[in-house]
Chains A and B, each alone.
Chain A
Amino acid sequence: MKLLLNPGRRFVIGVPYVWLLLFFVLPFLILLRISVTDMGNSVDPFAPLIDTSGDAWRLMLEFKNYISIFSDRVDGPTIYVEAYKTSLKYAALTTLLCLVIGYPFAYFLARCQPSIRPVLLMLVMLPFWTSFLLRIAAWKGILADQGVLNNLLLWLGVIREPMVMLYTDVSMLVGMTYVYLPFMILPLYANLVKMDMRLLEAAHDLGASGLRAFWLITVPLSKAGIIAGCMLVFIPAVGEFVIPSLLGGAENIMIGRVVWDEMFSSNNWPRASALSVVMIVVILVPLALYYRFKDAAGKSA
C-alpha cells in the first residue's frame, strides 16, 4: 500500500518512531552487541563485530554468556534460571493481587457520581507525589518486628508475639502490589467508565441478575482494560530491583538483582547484557504471540 502523506503528518508520525529508534532500539542493539562479547579475553566490548585482519572476514560472536545462563551447573538449574522463575512468579502474583484489588476499586470509581470522580482519581495518583523510596521505607516501618502493624495487633491481642513480616516474600508482595496498584486501576477505570450502562440493563431485562450480568457483560467488555493493566504491572514487575532489595528476603533473588550484581559487583557487562536480553525475550515473545493470536481471532470473527 502506498501512503501519500503530507510533510506535516509524516513529521507527527515520525517523531515517536525517531524517539523509539534513539532510546529503545539503539540501546537495545548496544546491549545485544555487548552480550556477545567474551569477557575473559578482555575484548573491547565496542570493537567491530567483523574481524577483517585475516584472509577471510570472521564474524566475532561469543555465545558463552547465553550458554552459561542456562548451563552453569549439572545438578540443577543455574541461579539465573532460578532468578527468572522467581521474578516471573512474583510478577505474576503482584499482577494477580493488583487485579483483584484494583478491579473493584476501578469499578467503584467508574460508577460513582461524576462530581466526585476527579477527587477519587487524584487520591489514586496521590502516592506519586511522595518519593518512591520514602514510601517503601514507610512500609518498613509498618511491617518491621517492632513496627506499626505488629504493635497494633499485639495491642489488640490478635497475636502474642510479633510476626516476622519484613524481608519475606509477603513484605515484598505487599510493597510491589502497593507500588503498582495505580497502574492497574487507571487503565481499568478508563475502560469501565466508557461502558454503556444500557448493556447491563439489557442483560437484566433478558434475565441476568446483577452478578451474572457483571460476569457476562462487564468483565468481557473490560478485557482490553484488564490486559492493559496487567501488562503495565507485570512487565516492570519482572525486572523490579528496588522493592525486592529493600523489602524482600535473601532467599528470593529476582533477576533485577542478579543483573545489578553482574553489572556493578562482578563488572561482567557481557553477562549482565545477556541476562537483560533473555529477560526481554521472555517477556516480549509471549506478548507478540498473544497479539498475533488476537489479531487473527479478530479477523476471523
Chain B
Amino acid sequence: MAGYLQTDALVKRFDGVAAVDNVSLTINKGEIFALLGSSGCGKSTLLRMLAGFEAPTSGRIMLAGSDIAAMPPYERPINMMFQSYALFPHLTVWDNIAFGLKRERMPKAQIAQRVDEMLDLVQLKEFAQRKPYQLSGGQQQRVALARSLAKKPQLLLLDEPLGALDKKLRERTQFELLNILESVGVTCVMVTHDQEEAMAMASRIAVMSRGRVLQVGTPKEIYEYPNCRFVADFIGTVNLWEGTLAVDAADRCEVKTANGLVSMGHGVSGSLDMACAVAIRPEKITISKIRPAVAVNLFTGTVKEIAYFGSYNTFIVEVPGGATVKILQANTSRYTSPVSACDITWNDAVFFWFDVTAPVVLTQ
C-alpha cells in the first residue's frame, strides 16, 4: 500500500554536499512520524523540503497521490509549526491564527468561527487580543499550534515543537500537544534531536545521520531492536562490546568479546568469525555481590563509579582487561539489604549478568 506521504529517493545537495541523501520514507495517514537525529543530520532540510522552503535536487514528494515537489510553499496543503514559533510580532493572537484563513479569502464570519474554534482547542480564548510578546513560552507554543492547524492542513510539520520550553513545562506540554494532535487527527511529521520527545510523541521514528535514514520503526523497535551501532548508541545508552561470531545456530548464537563469551537466544544471518558488536542496555543487566546461580552471560568486575539518581543507580563497573560496563538498577526498596544493589559500594568486587534475550547482535 502506498503511504499518504511518500518521499522517493529524495536528495538535496548544498554546493555538492548531500544534506539529504537518497531518503525514501512512507508515512501513513493520521500518523505522528518523527525525524530524529543530531544537529546537521539533514532532518531539518528534509522538513524544509516537505514545507517547500527548499527545492529537492532530485526525487519526488508525493502527498495523497500527487507530486508536490515543484509546488511553492504557499500553495501546499501543508502547514508548519516553526521552531521557536515565528509568530508575527505585530499581530494579535487572533490575527496570527486568522492569517492563513484570510489568505484563502474565506468569508469573515467563517474566519471568526474557525479562529474561535482554534482558540478553544488550545484554551487561549481570553488571550485573543494579546500580542505574542505578552504571552508565556507555553502559550506562544499553543498559538503557533493553533495557527498551523487553522487551515486544516493535510500534513502538519513540527520543527522541534518543544525545543524552546524548559524541562518541566516540556513534559506537561508534550501530552497536551499529543492530545490536541490526536483529537484533530492530522498527519504529522516532526523533527527533533530529543529522543525522549520523539519516543513519547511519535508512532514511528526515522533515525537519521549524515543525510541518510538509518532505521525506521516504532519507538520500541528502535530501542529494543536497533539495526546498527549508530542507532543503538544514539537512542538511550548502551554497552557496545565488539567481538566475532563464535557460534551460529538457528535459535542461538555466541559472540566472543574481549570481556568473555556472550550467548544470545536468537540466530543471526552471517558467517562464523565475522566482526560484530553486542549491544546490551544498562537496565537489562543485574548486579550483585553474591554469585548468582546462572551459567551464561555472567561476568565479574570492580565498581568504579556509582551515581545515585533517586529512582535508580548507575554503576560503572570495570571488568578484567580494563573496559567499563554501565549498569542501571532501579531502587525498588528504601532499605539497604545485603542482596539489594544499594548495598554495593566503591571498589566492591561484583557479579553482573543478563538474560540471553537481553543483548542484540549488530553487524553494521
Task: Tell yes or no: A301 within 8 A of B by CB.
Answer: yes
Task: Give A196's nearest chain B residue, CB to CB.
Answer: B86
Option from A199, A204, A207, A223 in Cβ contact (under 8 Å) with B151 = A207
Q: Which of B124-172 contact A (CB under 8 A)?
A: 129, 131, 147-148, 151
The reply to whether B88 and A201 form a contact with Cβ atoms under 8 Å apart is: no
B residues in contact with A212, CB < 8 Å: 103
Option from B52, B90, B104, B129 in Cβ contact (under 8 Å) with A220 = B90
Binding site secondary structure of chain A: helix
The reply to whether A205 and B103 form a contact with Cβ atoms under 8 Å apart is: no
Task: Tell yes or no: B100 within 8 A of A by CB.
Answer: yes
Q: Say yes or no: A201-B74 contact (C-beta < 8 A), given A206-B103, A206-B151, A221-B89.
A: no
Q: Which of A213-228 contact B (CB under 8 A)?
A: 216-217, 220-221, 223
The 0/1 profile, CB within 8 Å of A marked 1, for residues 66-100 of chain B is: 00000011110011101100111110100000011
Task: Tell yes or no: A93 within 8 A of B by CB.
Answer: no
Task: Give A217's nearest chain B residue, CB to CB.
Answer: B88
Give the bracket for the number of chain A residues in contact with chain B: 10 to 19
The reply to whether A205 and B79 form a contact with Cβ atoms under 8 Å apart is: yes
Task: Give B80's nearest chain A residue, CB to CB.
Answer: A205
A246–B147 Cα distance when bound, in Å, is 57
Count: A-B pairs, CB below 8 Å: 61
The reply to whether A207 and B103 form a contact with Cβ atoms under 8 Å apart is: yes
B residues in contact with A221, CB < 8 Å: 89-90
The reply to whether B74 and A209 form a contact with Cβ atoms under 8 Å apart is: yes
The reply to whether B89 and A206 form a contact with Cβ atoms under 8 Å apart is: no
A196–B132 Cα distance when bound, in Å, is 15
Option from A198, A204, A220, A301 in Cβ contact (under 8 Å) with B72 = A204
Q: Say yes or no: A204-B89 contact (C-beta < 8 A), given A198-B82, A212-B103.
A: no
A residues in contact with B88, CB < 8 Å: 199, 202-203, 217
Interface centre among B78, B79, B87, B88 (most CB of A within 10 A): B88
Task: Tell yes or no: B53 within 8 A of A by CB.
Answer: yes
Task: Tell yes or no: B51 within 8 A of A by CB.
Answer: yes
Closest approach, in angstroms, between the C-beta of A245 and any C-beta of chain B?
42
A217–B53 Cα distance when bound, in Å, is 17
Task: Tell yes or no: A208 within 8 A of B by CB.
Answer: yes
Task: Give A207's nearest chain B residue, CB to CB.
Answer: B103
A residues in contact with B82, CB < 8 Å: 198, 201-202, 205
Interface centre among A199, A207, A209, A212 (most CB of B within 10 A): A207
Task: Give B99's nearest chain A residue, CB to CB.
Answer: A206
Residues of chain A touching chain B, judged by Cβ–Cβ distance below 8 Å, are 196, 198-199, 201-209, 212, 216-217, 220-221, 223, 301
A-B contact pairs, 11 of them (CB 8 A): A198-B83, A202-B80, A202-B82, A205-B80, A206-B100, A207-B75, A209-B74, A217-B88, A221-B89, A223-B90, A301-B92
Of all A-B residue pairs in the complex, the 3 with the closest CB atoms, nearest first, are: A207-B103, A206-B100, A202-B86
Other A-B contacts than A199-B88, A301-B131, 19 sampled, CB-CB below 8 A, are A198-B82, A198-B86, A199-B86, A201-B51, A201-B53, A201-B86, A202-B87, A205-B52, A205-B74, A205-B78, A205-B80, A205-B82, A206-B74, A206-B99, A208-B74, A208-B99, A209-B72, A212-B103, A216-B99
